[in-house]
Structure 1
Amino acid sequence: MYENSITGGTRALDLLSRIGAEERVGQSLSADTIVLYSRKIRQAASRVAGGEISRLTPEMLVRDLSDRVDNSQITRATARLEKAAALFWIASEAQSLMDSGDLVIDRYESAYRDIQFLGTSALPKKSGMTSSPNLKAFPDEAVEILSKAAIDDRSLNLLHGLLFIRANLVVGLRPIEWLNAALIKHQKTDPLGEFVIGRDGEIETCTALRVYNAKQSAERANGEHRIIMLENLTEQNLSYISKWLAAIKELYTPEISRLSYGDKTKKIYDSLQRAIRRTLLSKGWEGSVPSIYGTRHQAVANAKADGQDRRQIAALFGHSSEETAHRHYARKFSGYTGRSMRAARESLLAVRYTQVQAPQDVAQWSEPSPRPGPQPDKS
């Protein structure tokens, strides 16, 4: 059974019609849409299934969405998106059961029908929150909105903000740490700490980012600096990092260099954050607006989603304790898989032992080094 949709096409009104419409459920959807739906399902699982999608049931999904709609906890647009994600998940799960020979899908049919006809017209069009806490994430939806807006809006602050976002979603630095970060060639070591020797008899090297830890003075970091390995990074993502290093070198003027530690960050990043916020709100963003610092939270969430252990995450993000990211940063369900980097062995060891020998850097990257920024606070 089908009905006309607002896009001019047709929409399945029952589960079997949805499954029969395509060879595989979701075949006609874009990859970005499937990623977005998957993220919404992970969020639902975190609310009702302890974060485990494998424990999620169609009944849980119906109850979760119904409660959020009945209590007006979400806007009309968010409800439509979550309904679409739920219908996609239910249809996909039911199709998998049928493929395995299990034809008893009554509970999935019932859940599909309940969600399909869940009314959302009484929900508000916009969120009632005018001042909300920063979102501990920087979702793909926000990046896509900013990327499209930057095509027509040639605001330098927006362009710089987008470049920072693209770069920091990869490596998750504290914003102030970019002032002293540099691309280097790093000598590779094996798990025993021995240098890796190539076929030519020379020590193998790889591209890496050296970052001076901003909070090492309070013994809250894994040493004076950390090394983030970039050997598996795409050329595009590597270019974001290289271009942002060049951009912040220009933004870090002599006048800014004379400011206090905290004022440096505000002077460079506040105007970028305002441009990001203005653009997202003008494009209809609802709820908490992602912040500059949210990119670090998102990078941590990505590492968690990739299954990296607590020690590796601590080394990657400059923490002395394995518990810091676990307790204070974004959760696994907010992350995307396949996007996290790894820390060098030296930085990994420094999570437990903060006094380690600095790694050897055999050559500077082709990009010029940033103007020397604020040194770690020794007080």
Structure 2
Amino acid sequence: MKRDISPTRTPETEAQYRKRALGLIARYEKAVPDGSVPLDKWLSELAEDLDRDTLNQYKASLVFYLGENDLGGAADAVAQIDPQDCQKKTYRSGNKRTSALKLKCVPEEFERELTDKYLAGSYKGHWGVRCLVFFKATILTGLRPSEWKTAKLVTWSEAFGADGPVLVVRNGKNSNGRSHGEKRHLLLSSLDEQELQYVKLQLLFLSKTDDGLVDARGHELGFDQYYKQIQKRLYEFNKKYRRSKTKTVTIYSCRHQFIANLKRAGYSRPEIAALCGHANDRTASETYGRRRFGNTKKGLPKPSQLEVEKIKLVIDSRRRLSQTLVADRSERAPS
């Protein structure tokens, strides 16, 4: 049974709803080609990067289109999405989301200035060192900030039957099929001793108590509290040394820079996906740091070949599904 479509809606609005809904459904089919994640769940995840008005427009368009096409159950599920349950971005002047004000790379001069000030001990003492270590370790490995909570360093022999350090990371976006598995492995044998030391220090700082963290006075902190201190110091540094700039460098900028470095070094898309914990080879290519911002001055991890092969299987499966859909449409097309 079709849902009741309000007669007060103008034809122009309905046309906009259909166009927007078709665009969203195309994005959904591209992100979840096997349909393993329901449309409403996918939209809920997408909503983490949307403001309330945009989310409401998306919901209204999908509810209208699905209801119009006798898909009332799916329409009801989308309608039930509560913006309060989604992590929303705040606004600053100019009506821009904060995500639009963050750099998707790390300028070399910024990293150099940060390193010089913090290593010299002339800036923010206890938290300055931890901010620098968090910053450097993330550029070198590309971890999502929250993934540091459970990351650990093992010897290569333990995981792969050879010598060398391996960073074992529990994938932060393993829900709803957004990663290629529960864990990923970064082979760090290409990092020099100083680079590896940043990774070791990061893990050391995050393992001082049962909760993993301590403040300058030795008091226990949860990870969120600790990370807020890191963000605070980095924000202060931006204000002091990038006053003329409109965009700020964040810890997430380091992940973008890591991916830009991989692209610049010629890593394949499946290799980048394996190193970054993505479920397919498109995510980094379409939404993360651009190759032109990359540099190859740093040592870069190598991925587990088993995980690379897993990504390739996803690509092959997606290609076969696409070919099947094209063939099916051709058969149904009127002659």
Do the two structures share a fold, i.e. TM-score over 0.5? yes
**CA separation of 1:184/1:140 partners in 2, compared to 1, >3 Å: closer, same or farther?**
same
Quickly say closer, same or farther: Cα 1:254–1:297, change in 2 above 3 A. Answer: closer
Match of 1:40 in 2: none
Please state whether the residue corresponding to 2:296 is helix, strand or coil: coil
Q: Distance in 1 between matches of 2:237 and 2:259?
A: 25
User: Is 1:225 aligned to residue 193 of structure 2?
Assistant: no
Residues of 2 paired with 1:186 and 1:235: CA distance? 16
Match of 2:104 in 1: 136
| Mapped partners of 1:254, 1:167: distance in 2 | 17
Q: Which runs of 5+ in 2 are unaligned?
A: 1-92, 215-220, 315-335
The answer to which structure, 1 or 2, has the higher relative contact order (CA under 8 A, 6+ apart) is 1
Q: What is the match of residue 350 of structure 1?
A: 310
Please, what is the CA RMSD of the aligned residues? Answer: 2.8
Which residue type is aligned with residue 109 of structure 2? E
Matches of 1:344 and 1:350, distance apart in 2: 10
Cα pair 1:175 1:265 within 8 Å, conserved: no
Residues 300 and 313 in structure 1, CA contact (< 8 A), matched pair in contact too: yes
Matches within 5 A, 1:90-169: 133-150=101-118, 151=120, 152-169=122-139
* Amino acid in structure 2 at the alignment position of 1:143: E
SS of the aligned residue for 1:289 comes to coil
On the 8 A contact 2:213/2:226 being kept in 1, the answer is no
Partner amino acid, structure 2, of 1:141: E
Q: In structure 1, what is the Cα distance between the partners aligned to 2:213 and 2:185?
A: 29
Q: Match of 2:198, SS?
A: helix
Match of 1:330 in 2: 289
Instruction: Report the TM-score, using the length of structure 2 for normalisation.
Output: 0.57
**Aligned partners of 1:284, 1:269: CA distance in 2, in Å?**
21
User: What is the match of residue 295 of structure 1?
Assistant: 254
Query: Match for residue 52 of structure 2?
Result: none
8 A Cα contact 1:161 1:276, kept in partner: yes
What TM-score does the superposition give when structure 1 sets the normalisation length? 0.51
**Alignment partner of 1:303: what SS?**
helix
Q: Deviations over 1:171-220 (max 9, x none)?
A: 1000111111111112499xxxxx7xxxxxxx533211111101112211
List structure 1 segments (4+ residues) > 4 angstroms apart after TM superposition: 128-132
Instruction: Supply the distance in 2 between the matched residues of 1:164 and 1:223 (Cα, whole angstroms).
Output: 25
- Report the equivalent of 1:237: 195
Q: Alpha-carbon deviations, 1:291-332, whole Å to 9, x = none? A: 011111100000001111100000011111100001110110
Report the Cα offset of residue 253 of structure 1.
Answer: 2.8
Residues 211 and 223 of structure 2 are in contact (CA less than 8 Å); yes or no, is this contact kept in structure 1?
Answer: no
Q: Unmatched 5+ residue regions in structure 1?
A: 1-127, 190-194, 196-202, 257-262, 355-379
Question: How far apart, CA to CA, are the structure 2 residues paired with 1:223 and 1:277?
Answer: 33
Q: 1:351 to 1:251 in 2, by over 3 A?
A: farther
- 1:214 to 1:178, Cα distance in 2 relative to 1, 3 A: same
